[in-house]
Structure 1
Amino acid sequence: MVMELKNGSLRQHLNNNFISLDWDQKLWSLYCIALGLRDIHKKGLIHQDFHCGNILSDFNKEAFITDLGLCQPANVKSSQNNNKKIYGVLPYVAPEVLRGKEYTQKSDIYGFGIIAYEICT
């Protein structure tokens, strides 16, 4: 098995390099993240812990979504698996989840929106 070693999370790169990032880099990174999330959703999965700390990106080539430990099939409801706990980093958790509703792929999209806001501002 061969793995590529990344230098750090998106959170670390934003903290260390935000001022030097141009819009092409920011938009390319968002595009790569969106493609990765699309691939997860096409497989019928929900990430459930989608935030900057779980994305490896250097703003130059690709972005990799990591930490799939909470990932589960979208068709599994928490009532089926007896698991109604809220997981994730609070600012990235969709409001409906905080109100006790199920995690859905739309919940991941909310997290993507927060990531986009962080990258752009």
Structure 2
Amino acid sequence: MSLTIHWDNSGKLPPYSCIFWNFEGKWDWNEFMQCDQTAYNWHMEHLDHPIYTIADMTDSTGIPRKGAINFFLKSVNNVVPNRALVTIIAPGRGFMAAIEPIMRRLAPVTMQAYHRVQTLDEAYELILSHMATAE
């Protein structure tokens, strides 16, 4: 499977506070929806703290274009109440950068939690900064 999720185990964030999505090579929307459902099934709404997400697309060969907006809309609307920031690591000016303005128009409130950064270090910095201000 080219797309996997797990709880972040970097040691940089508190346990069970961040779901890490790892996109490698070519992946498809079936894999994406399976991972999205897995994350949802973890019953994060029962945790008493905000849940963060890092989606690392650094090693992805691209986003499947067919149905991209529909699948992203399903995902952004399939949220738990304690979801905090979603940080997408998508270096460069690829397809993700192209559809981001469209997604912000289609789901403006939900997309306020989404941030695109260039590196994993930036993702951790953004989350740690948000955690510090949320206390």
TM range (shorter): under 0.3
Larger Rg: 1
More strand by share: 2
Q: TM (normalized to structure 1)? A: 0.26
Q: TM (normalized to structure 2)? A: 0.25
Higher relative contact order (CA 8 A, sep 6+): 1
